[in-house]
Amino acid sequence: MLSHIYCDIIRLQNLKEEKIKLNSIISAILSVYLFFVGILGIYPSQPALQEGINTDPVPYLFDKSIEGFRYLHEERELPFRLKAPDKIEEGKAYPMVVFLHGSGERGNDNQCHVMLSLLRGIKKNGTPCFILMPQLHETGNWEDDDMDAALTSLIDDYILENYPIDTKRIYVTGDSRGGAGTFDQVIRHPGKYAAAMPTCGYRASFLTSDEEIILLKDTPLWMAQNKGDTLVNPEHSRTVYNTLKDMGVEHVKYTEYKTIGHNCWDRFYRDKNVWNWLFDQTL
C-alpha cells in the first residue's frame, strides 16, 4: 500500500492542469481499489511461476486490452504489461516503445507502473505500436545486472519472437529512476534502440565522465526536465546535453520547463512533437 501512496504523491506534485489532475485522481482510485481487492481476495491467486513467460490473471483495471504477464528469468521475476496496436495487419511490423517507470511505481502489483499520459500521448499523437511496460521490484534499479538480464531476455527471447516488431524502430523512455535506466539501456545495448527519451533522468555511477557520456552519442536522445526539480538536479540533464553538443552530436535535444516540481513527464508525453520526432527515428 505504501508504494501506491508514494506513487500518487509523486504524481500529485505540480499538477495544475485539469488533464493532469484527472490522471492523479485515477491513480488514487486505482491504489485504493487494489488495496481493498487485495484484502477481500477478489483477484485470483497467482500460481507458482515457471521459468519464462507466465500469464498474469489480474487484468489492468482501466483497460483490459493491456495484457499482463510475469516473466521469470533465472529466479528474477519481472511483471510487465503489454499494449498492442488496436489493429494488427498481417505481414506488417510495428514499432515498440519500452517504458521504464520511476521509484514510486516499484512493486509487484503489475498495475501502478502503467503510464497513462504516455498511453494517451501515443494514442493521440503517435503511430500504432507495441508498448512494453515492465515493473521493478521494490528495491530494484534498472541498472542492476539481474534486471537488465531479465529485461533483455524478455525483449529478445519472448517479445521479438512472438510479436511483429520492427527491430529498426525500438525505442526506450522513462521517468526519474526510469530516466536513469533509459541512459543505462542505451549504453549497455548500442545499436538496439533507434532513439531514447529520458525524462528527469539522472547521472548515476555510469555517467560520471565525458568518456562515458560519449557512449550515448550514436543514439538520438531527447531529454526533458523541470527547471525547479527538487528531487533530481536538472544539472544532470544539462551536463549530458552540453557534453554531447560540445562533441558535435547533432541528434540530441533537451527541453527544460520553467516549472517547479519533479513531474515533467506528463507534460512531455502530451506534446505531439515528441511523438512525431520519436517515430521518425530508425536504425
pLDDT digits (tens, 9 = 90+) for 216-236: 999 999 999 999 999 999 988
Tell me how far apart the alpha carbons of residues 4 and 105 are, in angstroms, rounded to a whole number.
Answer: 7
pLDDT digits (tens, 9 = 90+) for 29-83: 655 555 554 444 445 556 688 888 999 988 888 888 899 999 999 989 999 999 9
- The answer to whether residue 193 scores a pLDDT higher than 60 is yes
The verdict on residue 228 lying in a domain is: yes
Residue 164, judged by CB atoms within 10 A of its CB (0-12, 13-18, 19+), counts as middle
- Please report the pLDDT score of residue 30 as a whole number: 57
11 located within any domain: no
Residue 1 lies in a domain: no
- Looking at residue 215, what DSSP letter applies? G
Angle at 118 between CA 113 and CA 121, to 5 degrees: 160
Please indicate, yes or no, if residue 17 is contained in any of the structural domains.
Answer: no
Residue 4 scores a pLDDT above 50: no
**Buried b vs exposed e over 90-113: b needs ≥16 C-beta within 10 Å?**
eeeebbbbbbbbbbbbbbebbbbb
Q: Which of 19-33, 99-113, 269-283 has the lowest mean pLDDT?
A: 19-33
Is 141 inside a domain boundary? yes
Q: Nearest CA to 101 among 201, 12, 24, 16?
A: 201
Q: Is the pLDDT of residue 248 over 70?
A: yes
Q: What pLDDT does residue 48 have? A: 80
What percentage of the chain reaches a pLDDT higher than 90? 70
Q: What is the C-alpha to C-alpha distance for residues 187 and 276, in angstroms, rounded to an integer?
A: 24
Q: Is the dihedral of CA 212, 177, 17, 80 positive or negative?
A: positive
Count of domains for the chain: 1
Is 5 within the bounds of a domain?
no
Residue 80's pLDDT is what? 97
pLDDT value, residue 182: 96
| pLDDT at residue 203 in the model | 64
The yes-or-no verdict on residue 150 having pLDDT over 60 is yes
Read off the pLDDT of residues 5-35 as tens digits, 9 standing for 90 and up.
445 444 444 444 444 455 555 555 655 555 5
Q: Is residue 274 part of a domain?
A: yes
Residue of 216, 72, 221 whose CA lies nearest to 150: 72
Half-sphere exposure (Cβ direction) of 151: Cα atoms closer than 13 Å:
27
**Which CATH number do you get for residue 168?**
3.40.50.1820
| Residue-level pLDDT at 10 | 42
Prediction pTM value: 0.84
pLDDT digits (tens, 9 = 90+) for 119-132: 999 999 999 999 99
Give the Cα separation of 134 and 43 in Å (integer): 20
pLDDT of residue 22: 54
Residue 202, in any domain of the structure: yes
Alpha carbons 134 and 144: distance in angstroms, whole number: 14
Beta strands in 74-126 (DSSP E): 76-83, 94-100
Least confident segment among 55-64, 75-84, 156-165, 175-184: 55-64
Position 51 scores a pLDDT of: 85
Check residues 13 and 240 and name the one with the higher pLDDT. 240
User: Containing domain of residue 181, as a range?
Assistant: 48-280
Mean pLDDT of the chain: 86
